[in-house]
């Protein structure tokens, strides 16, 4: 398998090796366009298989690669290594002053192409209408820009957590579980618009209700009204309204969260069905 390295893939092909290309690192999520040059096409068309991490990206690649092997293998989660339901109340022990609030949670990228700005503007509407909400944001990039946006919008009830040092950081897992609603933002940048982002699966594993901006990537995993509540992409007012709807309807919120968790356990857990799918895929590629 060749990841990231075009020259390595070309060298492997020239040496007569069987190459599997993993689009996870072949695809740059911050580019506002999709371009494959002649070398990309040469390698992708000659690879034994191309692995895509979302149904939308798999469909996109099948369109351009014709009958070549394109396999869908999502990120998923490994609940044996990182399960938000198995951590304690670390978040509220660390931040006891937040225990009386309804937590609106976001964990993901902090750049504009991750869609977080839409959430910030939506929360500014929520904060004006009600005093019980508190936005908690944890990102791995763009924190300084987010702090400037908070200041510009005059937001008062917002906390920005530092990035998690490891993927299964107990504080991060506890934060996801402590949130009353988790918001999955997006943008039209192809690497975000078409992706089933890792954030989606982390949210699902927490068993909390998800409000998501509707994109082809998100629709490949979640279902509107069943495992998430969808809103139009970039619609600030609709996002604020949907968050409030979930907060105010506890039975609906619980149903969304339970369904998302069940889906993570049954379909997207590396310790279960997803791991078996991967083993079957690679066995077929290298038999």
Q: At what angle do helices 250-267 and 198-206 cross, to 10 degrees?
A: 120
At 95, list the tokens: 């931040």
Cα torsion 85, 137, 270, 190: sign: positive
**How much is the average pLDDT of 76-84?**
96
Residue 117: predicted pLDDT: 97
| 25, pLDDT greater than 70 | no
- In order of 171, 173, 214, 238, the CA distances from 84 in angstroms are 9, 5, 25, 28
Instruction: Tell me the average pLDDT of the chain.
Output: 92
Residue 275: predicted pLDDT: 95
Q: What is the band of 137 on the pLDDT scale with cuts at 50, 70, 90?
A: very high
Which tens digits make up the pLDDT trace of 88-110?
999 999 999 999 999 999 999 99
Q: Could you give the angle at the alpha carbon of 57 between the alpha carbons of 221 and 231, nearest 5°?
A: 45
Q: What is the band of 152 on the pLDDT scale with cuts at 50, 70, 90?
A: very high
Residue 28: predicted pLDDT: 58
**How much is the average pLDDT of 205-226?**
97
The pLDDT > 70 percentage for the chain reads: 97
Residue 29: predicted pLDDT: 60
d(CA 219, CA 196): 9
Residue 64: predicted pLDDT: 84
Q: What is the band of 56 on the pLDDT scale with cuts at 50, 70, 90?
A: very high
The closest alpha carbon to 258, from 220, 210, 195, belongs to: 210
Residue 50, classed as helix, strand or coil, is strand
- Burial environment of residue 137 by CB neighbours within 10 A (0 to 12, 13 to 18, 19 or more): buried
| 171, pLDDT greater than 70 | yes
List the chain domain ranges: 6-73, 84-267
| Residue 60, φ and ψ in degrees, nearest 5 | -60, -45
The closest alpha carbon to 126, from 144, 109, 106, 110, belongs to: 106
Scored b (16 or more CB within 10 A) or e, 177-193 reads: bbbbbbbbbbbebbbbb
The closest alpha carbon to 47, from 63, 70, 76, belongs to: 70
| 205, pLDDT greater than 80 | yes
Which tens digits make up the pLDDT trace of 174-204?
999 999 999 999 999 988 999 999 999 999 9
Helix (H) or strand (E) holding 210: strand 210-213
Residue 22: predicted pLDDT: 87
Residue 3: predicted pLDDT: 67
Cα torsion 139, 145, 148, 149: sign: negative
The pLDDT > 90 percentage for the chain reads: 79
d(CA 197, CA 108): 9
| 20, pLDDT greater than 80 | yes
Q: Between residues 5 and 8, which one has the greater pLDDT?
A: 8
Other C-beta atoms closer than 10 Å to the C-beta of 237 total 12
* Architecture per CATH, 84-267: 3-Layer(aba) Sandwich (3.40)
Residues 6+ apart with CB under 8 A from 52: 23, 58, 60, 61, 70, 71, 72, 73
Residue 30: predicted pLDDT: 66
């Amino acid at each position: 398998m060749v990841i990231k390295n075009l020259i390595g893939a070309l060298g492997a092909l020239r040496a007569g090796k069987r190459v599997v290309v993993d689009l996870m690192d072949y695809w740059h999520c911050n580019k506002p366009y999709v371009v494959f040059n002649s070398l990309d096409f040469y390698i992708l068309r000659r690879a034994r298989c191309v692995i895509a991490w979302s149904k939308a990206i798999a469909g996109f690649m099948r369109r351009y690669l014709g009958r070549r092997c394109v396999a869908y293998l999502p990120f998923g989660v490994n609940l044996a290594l990182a399960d938000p339901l198995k951590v304690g109340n670390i978040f509220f022990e660390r931040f006891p002053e937040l225990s009386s609030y309804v937590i609106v949670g976001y964990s993901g990228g902090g750049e504009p192409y991750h869609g977080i700005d839409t959430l910030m503007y939506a929360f500014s509407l929520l904060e004006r209408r009600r005093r019980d909400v508190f936005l908690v944001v944890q990102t791995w990039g763009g924190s300084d820009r987010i702090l400037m946006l908070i200041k510009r919008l005059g937001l008062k009830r917002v906390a920005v957590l530092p990035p998690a040092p490891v993927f299964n950081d107990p504080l991060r897992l506890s934060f996801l579980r402590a949130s009353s609603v988790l918001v999955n933002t997006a943008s039209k940048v192809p690497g975000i618009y078409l992706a089933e982002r890792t954030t989606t699966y982390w949210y699902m594993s927490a068993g909390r209700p998800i409000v998501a901006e509707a994109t082809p990537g998100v629709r490949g995993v979640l279902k509107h009204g069943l495992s998430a509540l969808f809103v139009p992409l970039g619609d600030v007012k609709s996002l604020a309204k949907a968050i409030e709807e979930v907060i105010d309807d506890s039975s609906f919120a619980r149903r969304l969260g339970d369904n998302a968790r069940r889906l993570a356990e049954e379909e997207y857990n590396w310790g279960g069905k997803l791991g078996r799918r991967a083993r079957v895929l690679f066995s077929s590629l290298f038999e």
